[in-house]
Amino acid sequence: MKLDVDVLRYLSKDDFRVLTAVELGMRNHEIVPAELIDRIARLKHGGTYKVLKNLLKHKLLHHDSTKYDGFRLTYLGYDFLAIKTMVNKGVFVSVGRQIGVGKESDIFEVADEDGKIMAMKLHRLGRVSFRAVKSKRDYLKHRSSYNWLYLSRLAALKEFAFMKALQTHGFPVPEAVEHNRHCVIMSLVQGYPLVQVKQLQNPETVFETIIGIIIRLAEHGLIHCDFNEFNIMIDDEEKITVIDFPQMVSVSHRNAKMYFDRDVECIFKFFRKRFNMTFQESIDDNDNSNEGREEAGKLCFSSIDSSAGFLDKELAASGFGKKDEEDIQRFIEGEVESDTNSDSEDGDLVRNLNEADDLNVDSLHLSEQDEGHESHGKEERFEEGENSGSEKEEASDMEENNDNAVGIEAELTKSLSKQRHSAIASARRGRKKLGSRNSHKDKGGRSSQNAKVQMQMSSW
Ligand code: ADP
Ligand code: MG
């Protein structure tokens, strides 16, 4: 899938408003009914259906009419929402070439106003095993919107939180700059993934540094869980930077020892094969009786003085809580068990890997004139029983997300949250119907200025 940011220049404020409405609707509808989108978006002069058609044309939405007429966001649609939000915040002004493609992410270069280049990671959790997620629905029942949108957002939140915490503790990781939805902006690491390196000046030093990082991580109560030559970057001075954190776990995880040993073994194996390094002994946790085997002593998981709790305290401060960790672990572990089917349901979203090599997104400079968003004075109401999810849960989700919301998103979120609260309040008062169906119509004389999105090409 190409990230054709060129499309951004053709999208109006109404387009983004409707796109955001679909996103909000997806909190409790896998496919959002067109009528609900219209009600959430509340375009001043109507015209939601025309906008939907336009978004469909640009593949930002997917149309589904199997059960009822509805829409859902595509990855591209979600990408654009995140990109637009970040651009509006001034985090970056242009998107450049793709620099990485993982099983569950796409990485692009982005540049800020001063021309500083950073890395943008767009999480695609569930891209490969969307079916696996679906098959796990039984224990995910409590959250009908437990989908790639939610999982990718969690992965980004976790990655950002870990990167920040690790950075604070002096680990060689990229600088965590910003996150929004499924997107993380971080500093660009100079160098290459270790897997691409055929020769090293000082393989022993590099090996020791890497093993040292695994040990220090464990001392801080953490295990990377995907610590291998693909997630270790190395520069010309043979300086190491560790990347890719969504799967990290605490040393108190029930499979901690297995994950730790696997990380260590990956590094031993790689250095043995690639750089012909020889090691005296294998890693055996039970073998620490053997004196003189310094390496084995060092790599014994149980002998590491860990300070678990790092996760809970410091990560919660970044907005990544215990429940988030439980949700993401369920997905990761479920996937490990049954990730054999790569035939994703989202056929149009599955990347043709061959495409990635010659993907060269035109650079784009965006600047938006700030517009005041007056809020609608009128409250919109839903009919009771409209949504399948828990109203309360959704209302609190809305509040939770308000911190990150800007512009249109903030306005819609606030408005929807209000609707929820009033729906809950009315339900408590025992009312059957909550307002009339067309009460959403905007009768307040809001003067909405036309969106003026100025975009200029810039080359960098
Ligand atoms: P995934 O979770 O999909 O494996 P990674 O975070 O490992 O994603 O990134 C995939 C690839 O993108 C990496 O192997 C690397 O080449 C590139 N990459 C990721 N982050 C950065 C960064 N901050 N700077 C430079 N390249 C990066
Ligand atoms: Mg990776």
Which of 386, 378, 389 lies closest to 141 in space, CA to CA?
389
Catalytic residue set: 226
Task: Supply the pLDDT for residue 318.
Answer: 75
Ligand 2 centroid, distance to 74 Cα (angstroms): 23
- Determine if ligand 1 sits within 6 Å of the CB of residue 117: no
Ligand 2 centroid, distance to 66 Cα (angstroms): 36
- Determine if ligand 1 sits within 6 Å of the CB of residue 100: yes
Which of 239, 220, 266, 102 lies closest to 172 in space, CA to CA?
239
Which of 103, 88, 52, 134 lies closest to 373 in space, CA to CA?
88
Ligand 2 centroid, distance to 382 Cα (angstroms): 43
> In this structure, is residue 438 part of a structural domain?
no
- Determine if ligand 1 sits within 6 Å of the CB of residue 103: yes
> In this structure, is residue 446 part of a structural domain?
no
Burial 39-58 (b: 16+ CB within 10 A, else e): bbbbbeeeebeebbebbeeb
> In this structure, is residue 44 part of a structural domain?
yes
Task: Supply the pLDDT for residue 1.
Answer: 52
- DSSP-assigned states of every residue in 36-75: HHHHHH--TT--HHHHHHHHHHTTSEEEE-SSSSEEEE-H
Which of 284, 216, 231 lies closest to 103 in space, CA to CA?
231
DSSP 450: P
- Determine if ligand 1 sits within 6 Å of the CB of residue 119: yes
What is the rounded distance in angstroms from the CA atom of residue 40 to the CA atom of residue 105?
30
Report yes or no: 30 and 147 within 8 Å, Cβ to Cβ: yes
Find the domain containing 6 and state its range. Answer: 1-89
Ligand 1 centroid, distance to 170 Cα (angstroms): 20
Tokens representing 402 are 């308000």
> In this structure, is residue 24 part of a structural domain?
yes
- Number of independent structural domains in the chain: 1
CA distances from 52 to 11, 57, 172, 368, 407 (A): 12, 9, 45, 22, 20
- Determine if ligand 1 sits within 6 Å of the CB of residue 99: yes
> Which of 121, 152, 163, 178 to mutate for ligand 1's pocket (most ligand atoms within 8 Å of CB)?
121
- The tens place of each residue's pLDDT in the chain, 460 residues long, gives 567 677 777 889 999 999 999 999 998 888 999 999 999 999 988 899 999 999 999 999 999 999 899 999 999 999 999 999 999 999 999 999 999 887 789 999 999 999 999 999 999 876 654 444 444 444 344 343 457 788 899 999 999 999 999 999 999 999 999 999 999 999 999 999 999 999 999 999 999 999 999 999 999 999 999 999 999 999 999 999 999 999 999 898 889 999 999 999 999 999 999 999 998 755 554 544 444 444 444 588 888 888 766 666 777 777 788 888 888 888 777 643 322 233 233 222 222 212 222 222 233 333 333 333 333 333 232 222 333 333 334 333 333 333 334 455 566 656 656 655 665 565 555 443 333 333 332 223 333 332 222 222 222 2
Report yes or no: 89 and 406 within 8 Å, Cβ to Cβ: yes
What is the rounded distance in angstroms from the CA atom of residue 305 to the CA atom of residue 252?
12
What is the rounded distance in angstroms from the CA atom of residue 291 to the CA atom of residue 304?
17
Query: Which ligand has its closest atom nearest to the C-alpha of 233?
Result: 1
Contacts of 241 (CB under 8 A, 6+ apart): 172, 173, 174, 189, 191, 232, 233, 234, 235
> In this structure, is residue 135 part of a structural domain?
no
What is the rounded distance in angstroms from the CA atom of residue 392 to the CA atom of residue 172?
41
> In this structure, is residue 55 part of a structural domain?
yes
What is the rounded distance in angstroms from the CA atom of residue 251 to the CA atom of residue 374?
49
Q: How many residues belong to the chain?
A: 460
Closest protein CA for atom 16 of ligand 1: 100
Contacts of 281 (CB under 8 A, 6+ apart): 287, 290, 293, 295, 296
Task: Supply the pLDDT for residue 421.
Answer: 64
- Determine if ligand 1 sits within 6 Å of the CB of residue 132: no
Contacts of 295 (CB under 8 A, 6+ apart): 279, 280, 281
> In this structure, is residue 105 part of a structural domain?
no
Instruction: Identify the CATH number of the domain in which residue 6 sits.
Output: 1.10.10.10
> In this structure, is residue 416 part of a structural domain?
no
Q: Coil, strand, or helix at residue 317?
A: helix
Cα dihedral 316, 322, 328, 334 in deg (nearest 10): 160
